[in-house]
């Protein structure tokens, strides 16, 4: 059984980012910090980034990029990872990033990559 803050964090990950941010703001500061701390690292970092943007802005609605790959990743490897990711998230785009993961070099429609891989297998 999950602790209360872990449960809230898990439920918030199921919401769209803007709604999750709105719900988080309704908690007192101390409790909000505990909930954020109980969230998975990627989501926690995204919530903190989103909080820096004013309400009703697109920055507040950002989600972490889940389908992120290095240029050396093969289509087969990316497809295998995408099959895992789509079980828990809606993936539209995948991103190819540099070694520092700091800059996205390009975005690709995940269906294009999956279609390529399926036709090759």
In terms of domains, do 44 and 13 share one? yes
DSSP state of 14: T
Give the tens place of pLDDT for each residue, 29-56. 999 999 999 998 888 888 888 889 888 8
CA distance 54 to 48: 12
For residue 37, the enclosing domain spans 4-61
Q: Which residues pair with 107 in a beta bridge?
A: 95
Give the tens place of pLDDT for each residue, 63-96. 878 888 888 889 899 889 988 888 877 788 888 8
Q: Considering its fold, how many domains does the chain have in total?
A: 2
In terms of domains, do 54 and 81 share one? no
């Amino acid at each position: 059984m999950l602790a209360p803050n872990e449960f809230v964090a898990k439920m918030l990950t199921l919401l769209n980012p803007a709604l999750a941010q709105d719900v988080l703001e309704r908690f007192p500061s101390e409790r909000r910090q505990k909930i954020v701390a109980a969230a998975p690292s990627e989501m926690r970092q995204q919530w903190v980034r989103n909080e820096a943007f004013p309400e009703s802005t697109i920055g507040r609605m950002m989600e972490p990029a889940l389908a992120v790959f290095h240029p050396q990743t093969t289509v087969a490897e990316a497809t295998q990872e995408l099959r895992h990711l789509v079980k828990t998230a809606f993936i539209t785009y995948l991103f190819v990033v540099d070694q520092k993961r700091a800059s996205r070099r390009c975005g690709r429609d995940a269906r294009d990559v999956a279609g390529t891989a399926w036709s090759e297998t």
